[in-house]
Structure 1
Amino acid sequence: MPKIDSHQHFWIFDPVRDSWIDYSMLAIKRDFSPLDLLPVLQDNGIDGCISVQASQTDDETGFLLEHAEVNSFIKGVVGWIDLKADDLEAKLQGYLHYKKLKGFRHVLQSEPDPQYMLQPAFKKGIGTLQKYGYTYDILIYPEHLPYAAQLVAEFPDQKFVVDHLAKPHIKSQEIKDWQSDIEVLARHLNVFCKVSGMLTEADWSAWKTNDFTPYLDVAFNSFGTNRVMFGSDWPVCLLAGGYKRTMEIMQMYCANLSAIEQDLFWGGNAISFYNL
């Protein structure tokens, strides 16, 4: 089974557009391209990746598709599109010939309205994605989980995946409310979970491997081994340990899984979800 990194980014750093990258993040305050990523994947035994949007423009989707066209290790792209646009369907039809375009994402975690995903125009857009077979990545914080559960319940035939386990508060070791809400969300069998982005939710310089175990237990027990997938969140992971440390945590955790379950986590589930 090929090993797939289900979540990584490329960007040409722009200080205005990428203002979220502040001076505490100097390690990622630069450009990142496929030439930077390929040796990292090779060093870690990863066969391919899913490239995910980092800015909310149509140009971003085109930028990622251009990289995917000339780099065979980029197996799929999760782009951005305005789900509330009147011409959404026409734009989706225009994308159909890009076979590596697998789905879309909106930065819901940054919307002032915590229930943005439940707005009628947004839900109409989700319904249109479903019509064309595109997936949807849910990027949220723990406080958004109840709204996410409402959203996915309305679209049982749409494929959703929660990015970064919905960013639990690992640094402060808060788990109870997040666990309850994750368990509710996971009851919807159309929802997968990316086991990604954990290091940057912990104490960047002082985390310990066992800090992550309670959260991993919740994710694997809630979603099951057939709906969780590995993601590095490269290059953001460079802030808190890097790619190799991210891999080591998951290799240790997955050591007790069966060979079939490990294959699913490291690649099979991403291949199935994104139709690679």
Structure 2
Amino acid sequence: MSDVPGLVDAHHHVWDLDHRPQPWLSEPGHAPIHRTFGTDDLRAAATRPIAGRRLRRTVVVQCVTSVPETRELLALAEGDPLVGAVVGWVDLTAPGVGDVLDELRAGPGGEYLRAVRHLVQGESDPRWLQQPAVERALRTVRERGMAYDILIRDHQFDQAVRLAERLPDLPLVLDHAGKPPIASGELGAWEQGLRRIAAHPQVRCKVSGLVTEAAHRTWTTDDIRPVWELLLSVFGPDRLMFGSDWPVCVLAGGWNAWAATVEELLGGCSATETEAILAGTATAFYRLDPLEPPAPERKEGTPCS
């Protein structure tokens, strides 16, 4: 067994355009990723280690509002050891959510369904997550022992906070740190929302998708650093998880560019804190099979700054 611990990518996507169209890829600016991407493409792209760790496990996340897509992702997880969990989609506004979840979990790869997600960022209703049907469905998700991935933009924090208040025993993770508007630099509203949701102990946060919220061609580590430092301050390393948002991150430099940035940002973290961000938090939240244990820390580092 290697004494070098592994790396978990807590957020990536795959799609086969010959099999399932992705209409959102036709939007302006998406031409570089308007092609099929599979896990072998991810293996080929993710060649740079972070803090000596190489990619060993991933969480694949739904892209479209499609139960058949979720079935395909579960079958992928069953056949590919890189994928340790699936975040799928079910219609949270429809009756019978429990039956759909049970059917998915009874099918090929069903044991890998660890969370669900809805594209709330695209919903205009400021109380979408507070719809009675949605709350009932999310209680069912909780009863099935699963979690919920929150995908919102900075103006939608109110409903995410209310969800955390009303369902305190539903494990939640904030995708892409709530999409801070890094390119504009107008982080005030985002910071207020982030602090409010971080006050709820059942909420974790993905350090993912940040480079695509920055200026795609010109961002630097210094553009990301204020967001990183705030995330560390309000969540702490043991509630943060690394994610690439690959292949979407190809629009702003790709997997290896983001990995290099994360390694630089981790420079003030101890080995224990690095383990949490790069593997431990995601492993616990998504109930992944454990990777090999980290090498013993030779000296105590300073806390993440």
Alignment of 1:34-45 (within 5 A): 34-44=39-49, 45=54
- Report the equivalent of 1:2: 6
Equivalents in 2 of 1:249, 1:50: separation in Å?
21
Over the matched positions of the two proteins, sequence identity in percent amounts to 34
Displacement of 1:2 in angstroms is 2.9
Alignment of 1:185-204 (within 5 A): 185-204=197-216
- Report the equivalent of 2:270: 258
Q: Residues 101-132 of structure 1: CA distance to partner in whole angstroms, max 9, x if unpaired?
A: 11110000001212211111111111110001
- Report the equivalent of 2:297: none
Relative to structure 1, is the Cα distance of residues 9 and 16 closer, same or farther in structure 2, using a 3 angstrom cutoff?
Answer: closer
Displacement of 1:95 in angstroms is 2.9
Greater gyration radius: 2
- Report the equivalent of 2:33: 28
Instruction: Tell me which stretches of 4 or more aligned residues in structure 1 moved more than 6 Å.
Output: none
Alignment of 1:234-253 (within 5 A): 234-253=246-265
Displacement of 1:43 in angstroms is 4.5
Alignment of 1:36-55 (within 5 A): 36-44=41-49, 45-55=54-64
Displacement of 1:17 in angstroms is 3.9
Displacement of 1:249 in angstroms is 1.1
Displacement of 1:99 in angstroms is 1.4
Q: 1:94 aligns to what SS in structure 2?
A: helix
Relative to the length of structure 1, the TM-score reads 0.96
Relative to the length of structure 2, the TM-score reads 0.87
Indicate if the aligned counterparts of 1:52 and 1:79 stay in contact, CA closer than 8 A: yes
Equivalents in 2 of 1:41, 1:74: separation in Å?
14
Question: Does residue 67 of the first structure (1) align with residue 76 of the second (2)?
Answer: yes
Query: Unmatched 5+ residue regions in structure 1?
Result: none
Equivalents in 2 of 1:43, 1:206: separation in Å?
21
Alignment of 1:98-113 (within 5 A): 98-113=110-125
Query: Unmatched 5+ residue regions in structure 2?
Result: 289-305
Indicate if the aligned counterparts of 1:41 and 1:48 stay in contact, CA closer than 8 A: no
Give the length in aligned residue pairs.
276
Q: 1:133 aligns with which of 105, 125, 145?
A: 145
Question: Does residue 94 of the first structure (1) align with residue 103 of the second (2)?
Answer: yes
Displacement of 1:18 in angstroms is 1.9
Q: Residues 21-45 of structure 1: CA distance to partner in whole angstroms, max 9, x if unpaired?
A: 4342211000011121122335541
Please say which of residues 112-121 and 234-243 is displaced more in the overlay: 112-121
Alignment of 1:153-192 (within 5 A): 153-192=165-204
Q: Residues 149-187 of structure 1: CA distance to partner in whole angstroms, max 9, x if unpaired?
A: 011111111100000011111001111121111011000
- Report the equivalent of 2:67: 58
Indicate if the aligned counterparts of 2:9 and 2:58 stay in contact, CA closer than 8 A: yes
Equivalents in 2 of 1:21, 1:258: separation in Å?
43
- Report the equivalent of 1:77: 86
- Aligned residues: CA RMSD: 1.5
Displacement of 1:66 in angstroms is 1.6
Displacement of 1:257 in angstroms is 0.6
